[in-house]
């Protein structure tokens, strides 16, 4: 019943897509509609209510930023899916589990926003160490498809709090690194390195997160099989 309601809610806004290439101003309109509805569903699953009012506007902005980062040509697709839908679902599922889309976590308000041990930053909870004078003790740099963390790297935790897209990009690189590091493990365990730094730990949590990705993917399959994709979104 829960997913039946989800499908009913999601079909209405997705039907308001561009009728033709000439009438479209956003080549990613379809993906933005999809990202918004999937992010709203993840927010509901995490918080027990749909976002409304100003909170809905914030969630829409998050969904738009997810699409902007995931569909950046510089970012490769994940899990053998050139459409990048799975990549988007991985980001949404990770954000849901790591931060519950909390506004306090997004802006680093209070010690609780940095995780149980005070070392994780922004909506994707990137592990950069404790806060000292407003900054994290470590920073992150993007190296090809992966990343490096250290005291001399480029982006501090405060940078991730101030730039949501940067936070999402950092999370995407950590996800990609986890999938690659754990590539010889069953797919359900390949987020273990994101969760614990090791492919041998946090397997149960990784399995739970990948299971949620599949739930969102099932919803996406339903939608894409019942709704014609606008031609402009293929540009």
pLDDT at 50 over 80: yes
| pLDDT tens per residue across span 12-41 | 344 334 544 444 567 788 899 999 999 999
| pLDDT tens per residue across span 155-187 | 999 999 999 999 999 999 999 999 999 999 999
Which pTM was predicted? 0.85
- Inter-residue contact 116 to 63 (CB < 8 Å): no
Distance of CA 69 to the CA centre of its chain: 10
- Inter-residue contact 60 to 37 (CB < 8 Å): no
Q: Residue 97 CB: number of other CB atoms within 10 A?
A: 18
Q: 76-82 — which CB contacts under 8 Å span 24+ positions?
A: 76/145, 76/176, 78/175, 78/176, 78/179, 79/179, 79/187
pLDDT value of residue 222: 66
CA pair distance 16, 24, nearest whole angstrom: 12
pLDDT at 89 over 80: yes
pLDDT at 234 over 50: no
pLDDT value of residue 223: 59
pLDDT value of residue 19: 45
User: Model confidence at 99, in pLDDT bands (50, 70, 90)?
Assistant: very high
Chain position carrying tokens 């090791």: 198
pLDDT value of residue 164: 98
CA pair distance 213, 210, nearest whole angstrom: 5
CA pair distance 112, 198, nearest whole angstrom: 24
- Inter-residue contact 50 to 43 (CB < 8 Å): yes
Chain position carrying tokens 């509805």: 37
User: Model confidence at 141, in pLDDT bands (50, 70, 90)?
Assistant: very high
User: Model confidence at 146, in pLDDT bands (50, 70, 90)?
Assistant: confident
> Across-strand partners of 132?
135
For 219, the token pair is: 């919803």
pLDDT at 6 over 80: no
**Mean pLDDT for the stretch of residues 132-143:** 93
* % the chain with pLDDT above 70: 83
For 75, the token pair is: 């970012």
Q: Residue 7 CB: number of other CB atoms within 10 A?
A: 13
Chain position carrying tokens 């690194």: 177
Q: Answer with the residue of higher pLDDT: 38 or 235.
A: 38
pLDDT value of residue 226: 53
């Amino acid at each position: 019943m829960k997913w039946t309601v989800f499908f009913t809610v999601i079909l209405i806004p997705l039907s308001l897509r561009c009728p033709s290439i000439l009438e479209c101003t956003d080549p990613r309109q379809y993906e933005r509609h999809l990202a918004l509805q999937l992010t709203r569903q993840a927010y509901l699953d995490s918080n027990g209510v749909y976002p409304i009012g100003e909170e809905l506007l914030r969630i829409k902005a998050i969904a738009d930023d997810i699409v902007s980062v995931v569909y950046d040509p510089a970012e490769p697709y994940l899990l053998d899916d050139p459409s990048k839908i799975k990549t988007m679902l991985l980001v949404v599922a990770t954000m849901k589990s790591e931060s519950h889309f909390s506004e306090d976590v997004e802006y680093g308000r209070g010690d609780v926003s940095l995780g149980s041990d005070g070392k994780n930053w922004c909506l994707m909870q990137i592990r950069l160490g404790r806060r000292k004078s407003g900054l994290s003790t470590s920073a992150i740099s993007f190296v090809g498809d992966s990343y490096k963390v250290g005291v001399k790297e480029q982006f501090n935790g405060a940078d991730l709090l101030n730039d949501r897209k940067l936070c999402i990009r950092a999370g995407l690189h950590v996800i990609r690194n986890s999938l690659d590091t754990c590539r010889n493990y069953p797919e359900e365990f390949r987020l273990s390195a994101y969760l614990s730094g090791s492919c041998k730990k946090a397997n149960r949590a990784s399995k739970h997160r990948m299971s949620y990705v599949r739930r969102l993917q099932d919803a996406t399959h339903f939608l894409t099989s019942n709704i014609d994709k606008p031609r402009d979104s293929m540009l």
